Amino acid sequence: MSEETVNSPVTAKKINPRIESYKQFWRRLLKNKAAVIGGLLIVFVVLMAFIGPWIITTFTDYRPNQTDLTNKLQGPSASNWFGTDSFGRDIFTRLIFGAKLTLYVGFLSVFIGGIVGVVFGIISGYYGGRVDAVIMRLMDVLLAFPGILLALAIVAVLGGSLTNVIIAVGIFSVPAFARVVRGSTLSVRKLEYVDAVRALGASDFRIIFKHILPNIMSPIIVQASLRIATAILTGAGLSFLGLGAQPPAPEWGAMLNEGRQYMFEAGHVALFPGLMIVLVVLAFNIFGDGVRDALDPKMKNR
C-alpha cells in the first residue's frame, strides 16, 4: 500500500457525540415502558390544553363559565360527560380549559426556579469560598421549610393570584436546583480541561457557559422534569386553599375545593379534577424517573 492510500481521508460517518448521546438517550428512554406512557400522557395533556379549548369553542356550545342552575350537581351523562358542578357548569369543559393553567404553573414556576437556581448553583460551585457559604446557607434556610408551607407564606405575603402562585412555587424550587447544580459544578470544575482553558486566559463567563454548563445539563434536565410534578401539585394545593387561582377560573385545585362541599351528594364534582391532578403529576413523575435513568451513565448498557 502506498503512503497516499494510507493517509487519504477516511470518509467515515461523522459521529457527533452530542447527537450520538441524544440518540442513545432516546433509545434508552423508549425501552422504559412506564416512561413512554408517562411521556405520551404529557403530550396528550399538552395537546388537550392548547387545542382542546379551541375545539370546544368552535364546535360546541359549552363554555367553562356558563352556568345553568336548573342543571346543577348532575352526575355524568351524555350531555355532561363528567357531570356538572354546583352552578351547573360542565366539569369536562372546565377541566379542559383548566389544563392550560395547570401547565402554566408547572412549567413557568420550574423555569423561573430553574434559572435562578442554576445561576446560584453555578456561582456557588465555581467561586466557592464565602460566596458559596452565603448562597448555600440561604438555600438551606429555604429548604428548612416544608415546601407547601414556604409557598403558602410567600403567597400570603404577595397576595393570592395565579401569578403569585407561580412566583411562590418558583422560589421554592430554587434550592433544589441550586444544590444539584452546585454539586455538578464542583465536580466539573476540577477537570483538567477547565484548567486548560483557564491557563489559556478564558474569562469566568466563557468557562461557565461554554465549558461547565453544557456538561452539567443532564442533572438539570432530570431535576426539571421531576420538579414540574411537585410544582403542579403545590400550585393545585395553593389554589385548593383559595390562595391561587380565584373563582371562577377553572383551575383544577380550585375546582377540587368547590367539589369538597358536595363530596357526599355529588362526589364527581371533586373526583374528576382530583383524578386529573393525580394523572398529570403521576405522568411527570414517571417520565422524570425515566429521563433520569436514561441519562444516568451507570445504567448505560441496560
Partner 1 sequence: MEKQELLKVEGLKQYFPIKGGFLGRTVNHVKAVDDISFTIYEGETVSIVGESGCGKSTTGRAILRLEEPTEGKVEFRGVDLAGLSKRDMRKYRKDLQIIFQDPYASINPRQTVASVLTEAMDIQKVLPANERRGRAEELLETVGLLPYQADRFPHEFSGGQRQRIGIARALSVNPQLIICDEAVSALDVSIQAQVLNLLEELQDEFKLTYLFISHDLGVVRHISDRIIVMYLGKIVEIADKYSLFENPKHPYTKALLSAIPIPDPDKKKERIVLRGDVPSPIDPPSGCRFHTRCPYATEKCQVDVPELRTASSMKEGHEAACHYIEEIESGEKQPNY
DSSP state of 211: I
Q: Which is nearer to partner 1, 61 or 192 (CB)?
A: 192
Applying CB under 8 A, among 9, 59, 78, 159 the residue interacting with partner 1 is: 9
Instruction: Give yes or no for residue 195 binding partner 1 (CB under 8 A).
Output: yes
Cell 401547565 appears where? 103
Residue number with CB closer to partner 1 (130 or 298): 130
Amino acid at 233: L
**In this structure, what C-alpha cell is assigned to residue 20?**
450520538
Q: How many residues make contact with partner 1 (CB under 8 A)?
A: 25
- Give the residue with the Cβ less far from partner 1, 21 or 66: 21
Cβ contacts of 254 within 8 Å, gap of 6 or more: 239, 240, 242, 244, 245, 246, 247
Does 22 participate in binding partner 1 (rule CB under 8 A)? no
297 touches partner 1 (CB under 8 A): no
Phi, psi of 10 (to 5 degrees): -85, 120
Segment contacting partner 1 (CB under 8 A): 25-33, 66-74, 75-83, 201-209?
Answer: 201-209
- Residue from 28, 211, 227, 292 in contact with partner 1 (CB under 8 A): 211
Give the x-and-dash track for 130-149 against partner 1 (CB under 8 A). Answer: ---x----------------
Instruction: Verify binding: residue 58, partner 1, rule CB under 8 A.
Output: no
CA angle 71, 74, 78 (to 5 degrees): 95
Residue 279 sits at φ, ψ, to 5 deg, of: -60, -50
For residue 210, give the DSSP letter: I
Report how far Cα 78 is from the mean position of its chain's Cα atoms.
Answer: 34
Residues that bind partner 1 (CB under 8 A): 7, 9, 14-18, 133, 191-193, 195-203, 206, 210-211, 214-215
